[in-house]
A and B are shown apart, each in its own frame.
Chain A
Amino acid sequence: MNEIRAGVTDRGQGQAMSTATEGRHKVAMKPGRGAAWSLRVVRKVRWAALMASAASLIAGVGLWQWLTESHVHLVLDFSNIPTPVAVFEAFRAVVVTKTFWRDIYWSMYRILVAFGLAIVVGVSAGIAMGYSAILRLVIAPYVEMLRPIPAIAWVPMAILVWPTTEESIVSITFLGAVFPIALNTWEGVRRVPKELVKAARSLGANRMNVLFHVVVPYAIPSITVGMALGMGGAWFALLAGEMISGRFGIGYFTWESYQLIQYANIIVGMLTIGFLSSVSTGSIYYLKRKLVPWAE
């Protein structure tokens, strides 16, 4: 592990140094023998790291197969757990069905709608709280009061308030995402250096333009952190909503598999949820790299 880290930092420093030299003197530097050598080492180390992780995974799956096959009952009960082979078979069976993809579609759709709303509301609220003392006094009490209530605790209320379960699930998902986004936006706006604002004002920017040219751009890295956290919260809340009151959706799929005693499908559902959730969080980080190249 140490070796890997050393390899990676080495590369990072090399890049930083070469940009610095370019910046100062614009000297065209030929990659020397040292660079080629270190690249080879990095590749080797990476390969070894990959192998180690793969071996660990294979061992884990092997252990799972053995525990379930031999029906171990030692504190934990493995007798009802499907083997990895059975899970793979179930996956193969389910991946060709329309219902599986319909469930994925519904979950992603709910996430997109709820998360989109959460970005709009959370970012606006965060900017308002960070930029205007009066709006902070108006909005902050609600944020501070409602934030500690977990999204799942909203389920009964949501079912009562909204006409259909669809809307209640979306609203719960929204609540799971909106607070981290609002709080991180607020934090980002609050941390804008005074000097940057002063510089913009001295260059002739009014308060509105300071907001759009200085405050918001400065807060974007912080907002994306809030979005990544919010995405986790959104999935958490979505699954709770789908399991309790849903029709369709990957959470519903997982819960229904339990009720229909299709245990292998539970694990297929769980793995799908993990995959979808990490894809959506990863796409936020991808978006961040595209959106704010200057922050890297």
Chain B
Amino acid sequence: MQKVGNIDIRSLTLGFKNFGSTKAVVEDFSFKFEAGSFTSIIGSSGCGKSTLLNAIGGHYKPLAGHIFLDGCEVKEPNASLGIVFQQHTLFPWKTVTENVRFGPMQRGASKAKANAVAAKYIEMVGLAGYGDYYPKMLSGGMQHRAEIARALANAPAVLLMDEPFGALDAQMRASLQSSLLDIWKETHLTIIFVTHDVEEAMYLSERIVVMSRDRGRICEVFALDEPFPRNKDKLFASEGGRDLKEKCIGCLA
């Protein structure tokens, strides 16, 4: 039934051109993210995972290769490709509701309809009652929640997340992780989740792609068939879990 949200990357090369010489960050990268899947990309810093995610979102022009969303090439940012950035990118001059309804209104929804959509997603991320707050009045975790709500309100086919929980304390991180899984279960969108935290990737995703520092090559792809909801303690204590974690860390080194 689920057909939208297939990302197909074919021999993608990303990098910078500097006076004729090119420096490739990611070279000849090919991968398929299936509709409705949850995939984590891990890799040490500087391996190009963030660049890759931005490229999927249409924010970098590839030097070579193609990215397809359901068969259409991604050439520029697109409302179907929602992004949650590592930094706070809520518009400080808009309240939470105004931020969340921004996407629907840009796509031509009426204010009343956009407000209804915004209210729904604000509730979904657990921020009901904070609609009239400005971002600076919220804590860091709440701002991340609002940001996720803003990305979801546009009903994207794909949600790209660039280390969204990187700057949060452990407690806030755990609570946002489980919220994200609930949202995924409810909406069935394709999630591509970039992180440098192996445990986070294991807890959340169906597949883990390990990228190497050497021009962003894929080292290894691990599939996790542990059913959701997962229990962190059991997951990391089990034979298979420990094994996988060691393998991932081994790949990163």
Contacts and interface: CB of A to CB of B under 8 A. Distances in A.
Contacts of A19: 137
Interface string B84-97: 01010101111000
B82 A196 contact: no
Interface in A197-217: 198-205, 209, 213-214, 217
Contacts of A209: 106
A199 B84 CA distance: 8
B139 A202 contact: no
Given A20-B139, A23-B133, A213-B102, A202 B78 contact: yes
A163 B136 CA distance: 52
A23 B137 contact: yes
Contact of B138 (A23, A203, A294): A23
Given A23-B138, A24-B139, A294-B136, A199 B93 contact: no
A23 B89 contact: no
B168 to A, nearest CB: 13
A24 B141 CA distance: 9
Contacts, number: 79
A196 B92 CA distance: 10
Contact of A203 (B92, B93, B134, B150): B150
A196 B82 CA distance: 14
Would you call the interface of chain A mostly helix, strand, loop, or mixed? helix
A218 B93 CA distance: 8
Contacts of A205: 102, 106
B89 A198 contact: yes
Interface in B50-66: 54, 57-59
B79 interface: yes
Interface in B123-182: 129-130, 133-139, 142, 150-151, 154
Interface of A: 19-20, 22-24, 26, 193, 195-196, 198-205, 209, 213-214, 217-218, 220, 292-295
10 contacts: A20-B139, A195-B87, A195-B89, A198-B54, A202-B57, A202-B82, A203-B102, A204-B79, A204-B107, A294-B93
